[in-house]
Structure formats: structure tokens, C-alpha cells
Amino acid sequence: MSNTAAENEEPVEILLAEDNPNDVEMTRRAFDKGKFVNHLHVVNNGIEAMEFLRQEGEYADKPRPDIILLDLEMPQKDGKEVLEDLEDDPELSPIPVIVLTSSEAERDIIESYRHNANAYMTKPVGYKDFQETVREVESFWFRVVKLPNEE
């Protein structure tokens, strides 16, 4: 049984894996202005992202996210490695992943999709562009697409 986020009317749990505080701030503000009630959880690298997803350590009581926004270039463990880990984990692989990055290299795009990324978006540059992008994410992923329900 699954419903769109909008039908559930529960807050959407979003995991943002992003090391750039500037991008974090703008993403947070853009989602705050959005139409959906949401909880934005932020981690700064791939290791923290996997800990969060596996609810390890300090993330033990964190919810399972409905969607992951993943930056490709991160220290310690980058986005590509996170994608590989997710692919190998049957528990986590159903969670939709949107790769958000400044890289427009075709190789990065193809590789991301090969590792089960659900969408690939070039990081917006300005604040207005961020809000635009976040609205698109909302209307497509929260309204249109049925997200898998937590069982």
C-alpha cells in the first residue's frame, strides 16, 4: 500500500547530504517556503549519510527518509560511493535518490543513473533558482510519484 506524500499529509522526511553550508542554507529556506510540511535532515558527508540511513549512533532515533538529495562531491565518502552502498542494500535501495551536483560531466550523469539514482539535477546557482528547483522536486516527487511506504 502506498500513497503520494500529499495524500498522506504527514511531514515528508528529506535527507540532504551536502557539505557546502551555502547550499544547505538555500535548500532549507527553499523547502521552508515550499508547499509541503517537511523535515529536512542534513548530513555533511557520505559516512554520515550511511549512518543516518542505517540509524546508527547518534542517528538511532532518526526516521527513515522518504527521499534523499545527494551531492556528488563530498569529503571522506562521496555521493557515488553512497549510491553504490544503497544499491547493495535491499532495505535502503527503494528510497528515491535525487543527485544534486554542480558537475555537468556526462560521465557523472551516466554513472549516477547506473547506480540507481532516480534523477540527476544540476545544482542551481542563485537563490531564486533554488526555490524553483525545490518546487519542481516537490511537485514531481511529492505530488506525482508514489513514494514507497515505510512498512
Partner 1 sequence: MTGYTKDEALGRNCRFLQGSDTSEKAVAAMRNAVDSVNSVTVELRNYRKDGSQFWNRVSISPVTTEDGEVTHFAGFQQHITESKQAQLDLERTSRFLKETQEVADVGGWEVDLRSDSLRWTKEVYRIHGVDTDFEPTVEEAIDLYHPEDRATMQDAVEQATTEGEPYDEEVRIVRPDGEVRWTRARGEPRYEDGEIVGVRGTFQDITEQKTRESQLRESNERLEQFAYVASHDLQEPLRTISNYTEILAEDYAEDLDEEAQRFIDVVVTGSERMQSMINGLLDYSRVTTRGGEFEPVETEEVIADTVADLEIMLDEHDGTVETGDLPTVEADGNQLHQVFQNLVKNALEHSGEDPATIEIRGSEEPNQYRFEVEDDGPGIAESRQEKIFRIFKSGEQYQTQSQAKGLGLAICDNIVRRHGGEIWVESELDDGATFVFTISKDKEDAT
Q: How far is the CB of 13 from partner 1 (least distance, A)?
A: 24
143 lies in the site for partner 1, by CB under 8 A: no
Q: How far is the CB of 27 from partner 1 (least distance, A)?
A: 11
Report if residue 128 touches partner 1, rule: CB under 8 A. yes
- H-type alpha helices, 46-126: 46-53, 79-88, 106-114
With CB under 8 A as the rule, give the number of residues binding partner 1: 8
**Nearer to partner 1 by C-beta: 86 or 134?**
134
Does 140 help bind partner 1 (rule: CB under 8 A)? no
Sequence-separated (6 or more) residues with CB below 8 Å from residue 110: none
Grid coordinates given for 73? 562531491
Residue type, 27: T
Q: Does 151 bind partner 1 (CB under 8 A)?
A: no
Task: Assess contact for 67 and 53: CB atoms under 8 A.
Answer: no
Kindly tell me which residue out of 10, 127, 132, 149 binds partner 1, with binding defined by CB under 8 A: 127
Q: Considering the rule CB under 8 A, would residue 87 count as an interface residue with partner 1? A: no
- Whole-angstrom distance, CA of residue 69 vs CA of residue 15: 6
User: Is the CB of 33 or the CB of 143 nearer to partner 1?
Assistant: 33
**E strand map for 18-142:** 38-43, 67-71, 97-101, 119-122
Contacts (CB under 8 A) with partner 1, residues 24-53: 25-26, 29
63, 10 contact by CB (below 8 A): no
**Which residues of the chain form contacts with partner 1 (CB under 8 A)?**
22, 25-26, 29, 125-128
